[in-house]
């Protein structure tokens, strides 16, 4: 590791250490209300206690299955619609601005509508998450397939490739990077929106537990839940970043 | 106007069978009679014999690429007929025994060089066990065998176009349609590839139709040059170049080479002026080049 | 000459196509509205879905005249404006600080990206706990959402500022502010504008989430009231008003962009 990278990492570590120190110090001296900022030890205790309870894992299961369902629907609908629209220049010019325009309105605004339609169970969160994630997936799919470089398609045709051959060997590989990008964005939107929906209004799941802990003024437990979410999110981000670099490198790490 | 006597020992081209027959081909974009229609090709007729190297030479927008695409079946002609090896060609299905080489390398960047060749052979219907052998042989001929496992993006532009050409050749079709394949390359690479092409012609007897802007290239490579007018494209005249393949670079030093070049330039100069004037006109149709 | 008289297939054809596209879009939108109207009137359960005409009526009858609702909407708009202003100013300042040297970028930028990865929604109960149920928590939440894109955009843009120009300007004795205005800003402008737009999207998200979370007053109170009472028409009307406010703010950002680029179009970009 070069000296500059080493010192950079040292600084990062230093910043986190300072923040951690400030946390410890401010709570130890009592200058911050325990309600807002419990002691690190209390949070750690709550966290270790939390992950041993069955209630924790059932909540996590609820959230995960909700996210999975929302994402699956968004993928099917988004890729399906995106692919179909991409087949015709006219359809793209007509529909893409409508989809992009709808995405410009914060979908979060419509959350109460989903509660109205589906109640406060997981159904509303699935519908909300799916609707939200649909847009970046569909838009990226349209872009991915519409912009498949025409000279590759023409080359395949000129070589006598069948429709299926062209689809498999030209269209899909050329569309893959943009497609995957959309799928990645869609996933994180599903993740965040389901979590958000649960926090706003639900009966079960991780988000609900955060809100509940706040309501009951159990700050240590709330922080424990938040810490869990943050750790999961950071790990997922790293995973997604790693996956994407692996896939977009065809073989010798050469392409795109 | 032939500038030279016919060297002895040449198999008379006129005796060979007709590989490509173009009869009264016109290409119109938009509806006839409407103010938006554009006539790209106007009543073009040309017979290309087997084993010939024919150049389509003309100013930008004269329809030479369009004509090439029509011959290869990528586009159906508005009027007229095209026959390849006796069989009528009209858009899909594409004629079997024809391969294209385009200006930009169309090697798929997501496959390795070898995989690109395999895929091309697969599209052509070559048996699986034959593919690797033919791929490697073709790469050997252009001296790129060491790059079989590389990706096209790891090659320079010149190398890519050589491999691109090799791919179209290895499929083993009798006819090669080349649309300004060397346009993006530097002069030295152009010369080397030109010589390779000439050798290929002599060795395999392929029929090659070559679109180019370059006068020197046309004279060096062709048996016959079809000089085209500005849009709407017609064949203005056909110039013979009587020199056996494979041609050595010394051919370019001979006085008849420059005579031919000057002759071509004289014919083309007015057409080029017309084409440029049409481009400057903001109302001129924007149909793709040639 | 015959060539100039003949109209181009290019230009006219394109105009014809563009108007066909616009017509098709208009027809589709109209068809959707009409379908909703018919379905809403004849088939839908009025507790869940009301036709657009009813929504419009509810807007005039229930939403507009109610001072509490309009003041809640006004409050939300105020919170958005405050949060955005704070995001842009602090975001630019922090971004300039972090982006000023390659080392600070290397050291501190990953921390920003780390923050970006965290789903901030999980913090909303904490914000409300700390800042209360009033405007402060909403502005704070909107701020934390909006500040990050600005920082990322400014730091990203500053990678492209040639250090040579900055040094040259400093050697000429230009003040820090002048350097920012004449050397840095023109170079980061495109990235900055993207950041401005994204920041508005995120600020809107943050403020709306906070408003919806606090169900004892403000927007959250009314959405809950209408939803709990199965009163979709005023609910849709309220949401529609918020959507209009969001679109208005997005439009303001575009105007802001245009103003800023006009102000600096005279400055040599290097």
pLDDT, position A254: 42
pLDDT digits (tens, 9 = 90+) for A37-80: 888 888 999 999 998 988 899 999 999 999 999 999 999 999 99
- On whether any CB of chain A is under 8 Å from the CB of C28, the answer is yes
User: Which of A2-6, B144-148, C223-227 is predicted most confidently?
Assistant: C223-227
pLDDT, position B272: 86
Among the partner residues B74, B124, B151, nearest to A254 by beta-carbon distance: B151
Q: Which residues of A159-170 are buried (b: 16+ CB within 10 A; e: fewer)?
A: bbbeeebbeebb
Interface of A with C in 206-225 (CB under 8 A): 206-207, 210-211, 213-215, 219, 222-223, 225
pLDDT, position B170: 85
Optimal mutation site among A158, A173, A180, A255, interface B, most CBs of chain B within 10 A = A158
Q: Which residues pair with B18 in a beta bridge?
A: B49
- C238 lies in which domain range? 56-264
Q: Prior bond to B232 cis, omega within 30?
A: yes
Do C133 and C60 sit in the same domain of this protein? Answer: yes
Q: Residue C32 — pLDDT band, cuts 50, 70, 90?
A: very high
Q: Which of A39-43, B102-106, C6-10 shows the lowest per-residue confidence on average (mean pLDDT)?
A: C6-10
C151 in Cβ contact with C91 (< 8 Å): yes
Report the share of chain A in percent with pLDDT over 90. Answer: 56
pLDDT, position C17: 87
Do C71 and C147 sit in the same domain of this protein? Answer: yes
Q: What is the mean pLDDT of chain C?
A: 87
Q: Give, in order, the Cα–Cα distances in Å from C72 to each of A199, C78, C218.
A: 22, 10, 5
Q: Residue C180 — pLDDT band, cuts 50, 70, 90?
A: confident
Do C69 and C132 sit in the same domain of this protein? Answer: yes
**Cα B149 to Cα B266: distance, rounded to the nearest angstrom:** 48
- On whether any CB of chain A is under 8 Å from the CB of C221, the answer is no
Query: Does B167 fall in a domain?
Result: no
CATH of the domain at C178: 1.10.3720.10
Closest CA relative to residue C62, chosen from C77, C73, C78: C73
Do C119 and C36 sit in the same domain of this protein? Answer: no
Q: Which of A170-179, B15-24, C11-20, C71-80 shows the lowest per-residue confidence on average (mean pLDDT)?
A: C11-20
Domains of chain A by residue range? 1-32, 39-248
Q: Residue C264 — pLDDT band, cuts 50, 70, 90?
A: low
Do C137 and C215 sit in the same domain of this protein? Answer: yes
* Token couple for C250: 């997005």
Among all residues of chain A, which has the CA nearest to that of C49? A117
- HSE (CB half, 13 Å, CA atoms) of B8? 0
Report the share of chain B in percent with pLDDT over 70. Answer: 91
Task: Quickly list DSSP for B257-268.
Answer: HHHHHHHHHHHH
Query: Does C140 fall in a domain?
Result: yes
pLDDT, position C1: 37
* Token couple for B234: 């017609």
**Cα B248 to Cα B228: distance, rounded to the nearest angstrom:** 27
Q: Which residues of B touch A162 (CB under 8 A)?
A: 123
Is the confidence at residue B1, as pLDDT, over 60?
Answer: no
Which CATH number applies to A39-248?
Answer: 1.10.3720.10
pLDDT, position B159: 87
pLDDT, position C121: 92
Report the share of chain C in percent with pLDDT over 90. Answer: 54
User: What total of structural domains would you count in chain C?
Assistant: 2
Is the confidence at residue B4, as pLDDT, over 50?
Answer: no
Closest CA relative to residue A170, chosen from B67, C258, B109: B109
Do C107 and C31 sit in the same domain of this protein? Answer: no
Q: Note the Cα B242 to chain centre separation in Å.
A: 19
pLDDT, position A200: 92
- B4 lies in which domain range? 1-97+226-290
C137 in Cβ contact with C210 (< 8 Å): yes
Query: Does C174 fall in a domain?
Result: yes
Query: Does B254 fall in a domain?
Result: yes
pLDDT, position B11: 57
pLDDT, position B204: 85
pLDDT, position C10: 57
pLDDT digits (tens, 9 = 90+) for B6-41: 444 345 667 788 889 999 999 988 776 777 788 889
Across B164-174, average pLDDT:
87
Among all residues of chain B, which has the CA nearest to that of C13? B36
Interface of C with A in 37-76 (CB under 8 A): 48
Q: Which residue has the tokens 């000429």?
A: C172
Query: Does C77 fall in a domain?
Result: yes
**Cα B175 to Cα B96: distance, rounded to the nearest angstrom:** 10
Query: Does B87 fall in a domain?
Result: yes
Q: Which residue has the tokens 């010149």?
A: B158
Q: Which residue has the tokens 């569909």?
A: A138
pLDDT, position A182: 94
Query: Does C269 fall in a domain?
Result: no
Q: C13 vs B30: CB contact, 8 Å cut-off?
A: yes
Across C149-155, average pLDDT:
93
Q: B36 vs C8: CB contact, 8 Å cut-off?
A: yes
Number of H helices, E strands in chain A: 11, 0
Is the confidence at residue B72, as pLDDT, over 80?
Answer: yes
Do C65 and C114 sit in the same domain of this protein? Answer: yes
Among the partner residues C118, C130, C235, nearest to A112 by beta-carbon distance: C235
Do C18 and C128 sit in the same domain of this protein? Answer: no
Query: Does B141 fall in a domain?
Result: no
Across B73-91, average pLDDT:
89
**Touching A: which chains, 3+ CB pairs < 8 A?**
B, C
Measured CB to CB, residues of chain B less than 8 Å from chain A are 72, 74, 94, 96, 99-100, 102, 104, 106, 108-112, 119-120, 122-125, 149-154, 171
**Cα C24 to Cα C21: distance, rounded to the nearest angstrom:** 5
Among the partner residues C129, C208, C230, nearest to A36 by beta-carbon distance: C129
Q: Residue B97 — pLDDT band, cuts 50, 70, 90?
A: confident
User: Residue A46: which region, alpha, beta or left (left: phi > 0; alpha: psi -120 to 50)?
Assistant: alpha
Q: Which of A22-31, B227-236, C23-32, C74-83 shows the lowest per-residue confidence on average (mean pLDDT)?
A: A22-31
Is the confidence at residue A131, as pLDDT, over 90?
Answer: yes
- On whether any CB of chain A is under 8 Å from the CB of C107, the answer is yes
* Token couple for C230: 């199965």
Across A134-149, average pLDDT:
91
The beta strand positions in chain B, using DSSP E, are 18-29, 38-49, 53-57, 79-84, 87-89, 98-101, 175-179, 207-212, 224-228, 235-240
Closest CA relative to residue B45, chosen from B21, B67, B72, B23: B23
Do C80 and C213 sit in the same domain of this protein? Answer: yes
More confident residue, C68 or B92: C68
* Token couple for B246: 């494979």
Across B2-7, average pLDDT:
40
**What is the C-alpha radius of gyration for chain C, rounded to an integer number of angstroms?**
24
pLDDT digits (tens, 9 = 90+) for B250-275: 898 999 999 999 999 998 888 888 88
Residue A105's CB is within 10 A of a number of other CB atoms, namely: 18
* Token couple for A142: 């349209």
Do C18 and C70 sit in the same domain of this protein? Answer: no
Do C10 and C81 sit in the same domain of this protein? Answer: no
Is the confidence at residue C168, as pLDDT, over 90?
Answer: no
Phi/psi at B18 (5° precision): -80, 125
Query: Does C270 fall in a domain?
Result: no
Across A91-105, average pLDDT:
92
**Touching C: which chains, 3+ CB pairs < 8 A?**
A, B
Q: Which residue has the tokens 């919170």?
A: C79
Q: A12 vs C239: CB contact, 8 Å cut-off?
A: no
Query: Does B148 fall in a domain?
Result: no
Q: What is this structure's pTM?
A: 0.80
User: What total of structural domains would you count in chain B?
Assistant: 1
Is the confidence at residue A6, as pLDDT, over 90?
Answer: no
pLDDT, position A39: 87
DSSP state, residue B184: T
Query: Does C11 fall in a domain?
Result: yes
pLDDT digits (tens, 9 = 90+) for C102-146: 888 888 888 898 898 899 999 999 999 889 899 999 999 999 999
* Token couple for B248: 């050595």
CATH of the domain at B4: 3.40.50
Q: Residue A253 — pLDDT band, cuts 50, 70, 90?
A: very low
Complex confidence, ipTM: 0.86
Among all residues of chain A, which has the CA nearest to that of C22? A94
Report the share of chain A in percent with pLDDT over 70. Answer: 96
Q: What is the mean pLDDT of chain B?
A: 85
**Cα C63 to Cα C234: distance, rounded to the nearest angstrom:** 7
Phi/psi at B36 (5° precision): -90, 0
**Cα C95 to Cα C153: distance, rounded to the nearest angstrom:** 8
Is the confidence at residue B124, as pLDDT, over 90?
Answer: no
**Touching B: which chains, 3+ CB pairs < 8 A?**
A, C
**Cα B41 to Cα B28: distance, rounded to the nearest angstrom:** 7
Do C39 and C61 sit in the same domain of this protein? Answer: no
Query: Does C50 fall in a domain?
Result: no
**Cα A18 to Cα A14: distance, rounded to the nearest angstrom:** 6
Is the confidence at residue C26, as pLDDT, over 80?
Answer: yes
pLDDT, position C11: 65
More confident residue, A80 or B185: A80
3-state secondary structure of B81: strand
Query: Does C162 fall in a domain?
Result: yes
Q: B122 vs A158: CB contact, 8 Å cut-off?
A: no
Q: Identify the helix (H) or strand (E) that includes residue A128.
A: helix A122-146
Q: What is the mean pLDDT of chain A?
A: 89
Is the confidence at residue B197, as pLDDT, over 70?
Answer: yes
């Amino acid at each position: 590791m070069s000296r500059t990278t080493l010192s950079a990492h040292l600084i990062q570590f230093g910043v986190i250490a300072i923040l951690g120190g400030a946390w410890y110090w401010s709570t130890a001296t009592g200058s911050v209300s325990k309600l807002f900022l419990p002691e690190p030890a209390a949070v750690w205790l709550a966290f270790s206690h939390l992950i041993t309870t069955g209630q924790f894992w059932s909540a996590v299961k609820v959230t995960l299955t909700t996210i999975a369902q929302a994402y699956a629907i968004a993928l099917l609908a988004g890729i399906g619609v995106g692919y179909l629209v991409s087949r015709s220049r006219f359809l793209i010019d007509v529909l893409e601005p409508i989809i992009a325009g709808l995405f410009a309105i914060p979908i979060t605004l419509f959350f109460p509508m989903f509660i109205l339609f589906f109640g406060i169970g997981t159904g509303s969160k699935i519908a909300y998450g799916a609707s939200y994630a649909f847009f970046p997936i569909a838009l990226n799919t349209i872009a991915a397939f519409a912009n498949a470089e025409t000279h590759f398609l023409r080359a395949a045709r000129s070589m006598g490739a069948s429709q299926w051959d062209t689809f498999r060997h030209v269209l899909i590989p050329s569309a893959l990077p943009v497609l995957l990008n959309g799928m990645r964005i869609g996933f994180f939107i599903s993740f965040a929106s389901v979590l958000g929906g649960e926090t706003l209004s639900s009966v079960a799941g991780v988000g609900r537990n955060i809100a509940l802990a706040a309501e009951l003024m159990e700050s240590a437990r709330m922080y424990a839940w938040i810490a869990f979410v943050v750790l999961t999110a950071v790990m997922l981000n790293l995973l997604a970043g790693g996956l994407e670099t692996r896939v977009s490198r065809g073989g010798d790490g050469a392409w795109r | 106007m032939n500038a030279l006597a016919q060297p002895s020992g040449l198999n008379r081209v006129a005796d060979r069978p007709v590989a490509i027959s173009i009869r009264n081909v016109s290409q119109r974009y938009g509806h006839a009679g409407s103010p938006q229609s554009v006539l790209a090709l106007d009543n073009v007729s040309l017979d290309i014999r087997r084993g010939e190297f024919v150049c389509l030479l003309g100013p930008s927008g004269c329809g030479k690429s369009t004509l090439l695409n029509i011959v290869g079946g990528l586009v159906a002609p508005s009027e007229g007929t095209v026959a390849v090896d006796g069989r009528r060609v009209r858009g899909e299905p594409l004629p079997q025994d024809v391969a294209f080489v385009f200006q930009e390398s169309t090697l798929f960047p997501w496959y390795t060089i070898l995989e690109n060749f395999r895929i091309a052979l697969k599209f052509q219907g070559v048996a699986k066990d034959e593919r690797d052998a033919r791929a490697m042989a073709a790469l050997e001929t252009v001296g790129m065998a060491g790059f079989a496992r590389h990706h096209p993006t790891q090659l320079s532009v010149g190398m890519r176009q050589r491999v691109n050409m090799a791919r179209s050749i290895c499929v083993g079709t009798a006819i090669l349609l080349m649309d300004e394949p060397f346009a993006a390359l530097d002069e030295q690479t152009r010369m080397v590839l030109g010589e390779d092409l000439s050798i290929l012609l002599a060795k395999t007897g392929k029929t090659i139709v070559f679109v180019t802007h370059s006068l020197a290239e046309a004279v060096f490579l062709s048996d016959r040059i079809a000089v085209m007018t500005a849009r709407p494209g017609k064949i203005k005249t056909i110039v013979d170049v009587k020199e056996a393949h494979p041609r050595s670079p010394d051919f370019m030093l001979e006085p008849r080479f420059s005579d031919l070049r000057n002759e071509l330039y004289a014919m083309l100069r007015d057409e080029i002026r017309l084409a440029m004037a049409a481009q400057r006109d903001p109302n001129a149709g924007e149909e793709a080049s040639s | 000459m015959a060539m100039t008289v003949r109209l181009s297939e290019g230009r006219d054809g394109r105009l014809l196509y563009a108007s066909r596209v616009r017509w098709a879009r208009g027809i589709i939108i109209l068809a959707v509205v009409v379908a909703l109207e018919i379905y809403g009137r004849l088939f839908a359960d009025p507790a869940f879905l009301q036709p657009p005409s009813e929504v419009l009526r509810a807007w005039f009858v229930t939403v507009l005249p109610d001072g509490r609702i309009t003041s809640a909407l006004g409050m939300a708009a105020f919170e958005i404006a405050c949060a955005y202003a704070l995001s842009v100013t602090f975001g630019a300042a922090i971004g300039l600080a972090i982006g000023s040297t390659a080392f600070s970028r290397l050291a501190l930028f990953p921390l920003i990206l780390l923050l970006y990865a965290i789903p901030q929604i999980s913090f909303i109960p904490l914000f409300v706990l700390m800042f209360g149920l009033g405007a402060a928590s909403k502005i704070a939440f909107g701020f934390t959402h909006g500040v990050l894109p600005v920082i990322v955009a400014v730091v990203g843009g500053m990678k492209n500022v040639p250090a040579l120009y900055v040094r040259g300007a400093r050697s000429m004795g230009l003040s820090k502010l002048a350097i920012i205005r004449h050397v840095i800003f023109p170079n980061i402008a495109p990235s900055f504008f993207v950041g401005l737009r994204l920041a508005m999207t995120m600020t809107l998200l943050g403020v709306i989430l906070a408003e919806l979370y606090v169900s004892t007053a403000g927007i959250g109170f009314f959405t809950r009231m209408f939803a709990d009472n199965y009163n979709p028409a005023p609910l849709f009307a309220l949401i529609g008003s918020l959507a209009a406010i969001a679109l208005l703010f997005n439009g303001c950002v575009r105007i802001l962009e245009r103003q800023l680029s006009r102000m600096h179009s005279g400055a040599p970009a290097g």
